[in-house]
Amino acid sequence: MGLVGVQESGNGEMGLSVVPLGTKNKYRRMDSELTEDVDDASRHHHQENRTKSTRKFVFASAVFASLNSVLLGYDVGVMSGAIIFIQEDLKITEVQEEILVGILSVVSLFGSLAGGRTSDAIGRKWTMGLAAVIFQIGAAVMTVAHSFEVLMFGRLLAGVGIGFGVMIAPVYIAEISPTIARGSLTSFPEIFINIGILLGYVSNYIFSGLPAHINWRIMLGVGILPSVFIGFALFIIPESPRWLVIQNRIEEARSVLMKTNDNEREVEERLAEIQLAAGTTDGEKGEEKAVWRELLSPSPALCRMLVTGFGIQCFQQITGIDATVYYSPEIFKQAGVEGNTHLLAATVAVGVTKTVFILVAILLIDKLGRKPLLYVSTIGMTICLFSLGLSLSLLGQGPLGVALSILSVCGNVAFFSVGIGPVCWVVTSEIFPLRLRAQAAALGAVGNRVCSGLVAMSFLSVSNAITMGGIFFTFSAVSALSVLFVHKLVPETKGKSLEQIEMLFQNEYELQGSEVELGDVEHLVQKQ
């Protein structure tokens, strides 16, 4: 029949032969290899899809968590222009202007302090929701205020809400983010602060043509809108897995980690690390006094963390960034810019610069690391602040003075946004132990807000005493000190898990200085 190997079957009928043994194995081997290739391709495709899904989920969670920061940024930006028309409408004094501008930052420290305890009690994401509600009420009060006293009451409420939001968003994002992207994601609140500032400047420019008794109310009222989006966001974003572990809700924590990590092995490793880090918390769960006792009587390692976290938060503000943003119309007027429209248009340029360069920082923070960006930022700010002082003191109100002043202000906010602006919050959210993270981050936020408030509330008075140029020379000197602070006390945390970073500070005092460089976490982990 032309078929090789046709043989009689056992019952005498003809059938196909068995393929020779060697050939049979060959085909089986090829089939097996083909199946393995298909399985590998399928697994690879599945992993790619999961990675994409994970990144989208974490990105969306970080964006929604950062919406509270729009509230702070919008207030900073909008008050720089609204205060011009508030003065005209309510006839407030210069001292009242300083208090009105700066009080929000000072009062926000109470929100930050309460935020640490609240976030441990009700969770990270619901604390963000509470922050939005309080701010919304404050913004509504400011919008309808017909006296300085009522306006101040609204500012007080808004400040408490901002205090809650400004400390919890970086903590939440750091706790849900995979290690490889934590730096860029934790910078999102600073991005949204800058977006809020830009929106505030644009709002000032758009509504400045309306009557003075109406325009500033609309400017402030627009700040309510982000709170609405935050309300929707609460039903989308997950709770922090680290907070869930502390609450002994392990399966819920695992479920969140499955959505924020690429594979099951990584999920189990991260869960084990979190449980280990949270282990010392179990015996003190709910004992707020024990946490504060540890913070107020810190070990050498914790003391180093506090100096680093609190110090970088304070330096971020005492270099004068909020004064530059709040009072940019006053600065440009001093430089020679005339007319409210031109003044507010110049502030829009400042807002655009800030927003563009914060995006640059996000692209670089997990590639170059935290310290290189801090060096570039603090050195650049030192130069720009000195240049601004020089322009205001010596060049007068001519075209060259105007150009150099605007360029110096834009340069200062650019260098701020590319480094210490976002990195400050990243470092503070990374360096503290899990059991203390919320309260320690709250302390850092308190330092930040107090310094911001003191600078904002004294800027006009001090500039009257030592000239506006003199105050920027002072800011330049402080910025130069921040370069030394970064060099000596801020570690590099790029690419390290939160638990590894904790090991850095725990072991720094146990090892010889010659054995390890500050920030060499890998070496420290190997020592374990």
Count other C-beta atoms under 10 Å from residue 60's C-beta. Answer: 13
- Three-class SS of 311-332: HHHHHHHHCCHHHHHHCHHHHH
Q: What is the CA radius of gyration of the chain?
A: 29
Question: Is pLDDT of 49 > 60?
Answer: yes
Between 346 and 412, name the one with better pLDDT: 412
Question: Is pLDDT of 191 > 90?
Answer: no
Q: What is the pLDDT of residue 319?
A: 94
Amino acid at 307: V
* Residue range 413-447, pLDDT digits in tens: 999 999 998 888 888 878 888 778 777 887 887 88
Count other C-beta atoms under 10 Å from residue 90's C-beta. Answer: 18
Q: What is the pLDDT of residue 364?
A: 87
Confidence tier at 148 by pLDDT (50, 70, 90):
very high
Cα separation, 32 vs 501, in Å, equals 46
* Residue range 493-503, pLDDT digits in tens: 777 776 677 77
Q: What is the pLDDT of residue 398?
A: 74
Q: What is the pLDDT of residue 20?
A: 52
Question: Is pLDDT of 374 > 90?
Answer: yes
Q: What is the pLDDT of residue 44?
A: 58
When mean pLDDT is compared across 132-146, 294-308, 371-385, the lowest value belongs to 294-308
* Residue range 89-114, pLDDT digits in tens: 898 888 888 888 888 878 887 887 78
- Three-class SS of 93-156: CHHHHHHHHHHHHHHHHHHHHHHHHHHHHHCHHHHHHHHHHHHHHHHHHHHHCCCHHHHHHHHH
Query: pTM of the full predicted structure?
Result: 0.70
Arithmetic mean of pLDDT, 58-68: 87
- Rounded to the nearest integer, the mean pLDDT of the chain is 80
In the chain, what are the domains? 65-511 (1.20.1250.20)
